[in-house]
Structure 1
């Protein structure tokens, strides 16, 4: 069941976005967070948290080629205009925050005032070296900030309920200043795969809520039974010629 609140008013969005304008000139950055447990529910206004000042330094996303051969966008050919690695292969044992400044409203009414999710795509790339599975999220209106990290369980936004996921390891993806509903409260995701993916390590995904500018999904992963292995993850960002902004999460086969 999809969980979200009634649409935010334009006035509320403009007030919530005022703090973001202070960082509007900053490029997107990657920050490893150490200011709370991975599954902490944040109830503050929908604005990316700033650096803690005591954690590891901010790492700028690495540049990339104009085309990633492993990308197969939903409903169209592989036509990225820009491409970069936002988070290289690694284990996000603690939450990692990739920040993008958002100036709401990102579009005129009746479009949503925040970047809105329009599609999800998933595919297995077992023939690549290294082999991996990918789930991609397609947004209109720009890139939102987002946080990823391993958690004991994925909690739903607004309720704190556990999101049921397959597998024995769980990755939480939390988009900040993003939504999946329009101004009338209607669901904006027009294309998405069955949640039971059944890839070698990426077994499935689940919706974790769309609440006050926070949009959450969980990934269910499978590692060897009794193993403390943590699968490596990579994040790519692409801007397509059709104006969609794609955030692709790759999970290694092993």
Structure 2
């Protein structure tokens, strides 16, 4: 009896061990698998850079020395005005609070059929106007300004001055008699309370005029007045 019990117990142990290796439906469980979704792949992929959009265009100021026309060839029977905003300090420093005239030049350009007179200013560029007049008068007194020729242009800058804080003249100037074919001479006509005036004497009336501006490398602003030679 004792010898028969040992094989029976061994058989029971083998059957129990086999049962522990299977699940409830008799199938061997497969190892778990992980499937990444397309959304997670897109989220972890490289970011997409949106296309660049152009910013607002920027207009750059003219480079120093660039000359440009502010009034094309025409006959200014009424005042031709060019405006500039000049911002003055509430408490101006002593000496020169306004644009200051530092030089007047003249030049003849026969190949291009015009003669030129220029006015150079230190500081901001002032506004200005030019017109044909029956005669050029001195600011304040109204006295006629002596000019060569038979026709006259009145030129005025504002705000501007041609003197320093001590009242001394600030501009270097050429002789007043020019003697070009049509531009015959020039003369000052006033420098008072921010108005700076000049007269130009011409050989005849009805000549077209052109105005222009440029800036020198040292920052000096230049206004040019061109008169046709023929």
Contact 1:105 1:112 survives alignment (8 Å):
no
* Superposition TM-score, scaled by structure 1 size: 0.63
CA distance in 1, matches of 2:228, 2:211: 12
Relative to structure 1, is the Cα distance of residues 107 and 119 closer, same or farther in structure 2, using a 3 angstrom cutoff?
Answer: farther
Q: Moved runs in structure 1, 4+ residues, more than 2 A?
A: 80-83, 105-111
The equivalences for 1:113-192 within 5 A come to 113-128=97-112, 131-189=113-171, 191-192=172-173
Relative to structure 1, is the Cα distance of residues 242 and 111 closer, same or farther in structure 2, using a 3 angstrom cutoff?
Answer: farther
- Aligned-CA RMSD value: 2.0
Specify the alignment match of 1:92 in structure 2.
Answer: 76
Specify the alignment match of 2:51 in structure 1.
Answer: none
Larger radius of gyration: 2
Specify the alignment match of 1:252 in structure 2.
Answer: 228
Contact 2:95 2:166 survives alignment (8 Å):
no
Q: Would you tell me which structure has more helix in proportion to its own residues?
A: 2
* Superposition TM-score, scaled by structure 2 size: 0.70
Specify the alignment match of 2:208 in structure 1.
Answer: 232
Specify the alignment match of 1:31 in structure 2.
Answer: none
CA distance in 1, matches of 2:69, 2:189: 25
CA distance in 2, matches of 1:180, 1:88: 27
CA distance in 1, matches of 2:91, 2:217: 18
Q: Which runs of 5+ in 2 are unaligned?
A: 1-61
SS of the aligned residue for 1:101 comes to coil
Aligned length: 170
Specify the alignment match of 1:209 in structure 2.
Answer: 190
Q: Which runs of 5+ in 1 are unaligned?
A: 1-64, 67-79, 224-228
CA distance in 2, matches of 1:239, 1:233: 21
Contact 2:126 2:160 survives alignment (8 Å):
yes
